[in-house]
Structure 1
Amino acid sequence: MPIDETELVASYRRVEHPLYNALYRMLWDAQECQDVLHDAYLRLWQRKRRVDAARIDALAWTAALNLARNQLRWRRLRGWTPPPEALDAIAGGDDPQAMAEHSRLHAALQRLPAAMLEVVLMAEFSGMGTREIAQALGVPEGTVASRKHHAVLRLKQWLGGH
Structure 2
Amino acid sequence: MGTLPITDDVRLREGLIAGSEQALAEVYDTFSPYVFGMALQMTRDRGAAEDITQEVFVDLWRRPERFDPHRAPLRGWLCMIARRRGIDWVRRHRTRVTVQIAAAEATPEDVVLNSTTHRQVRRAVADLPDTHREAVLLAYYDGLTYREVAQALNIPEGTAKWRLRNALHRLGERLLAEGL
TM-score, structure 1 normalization: 0.43
TM-score, structure 2 normalization: 0.39
Structure with the greater alpha carbon radius of gyration: 2
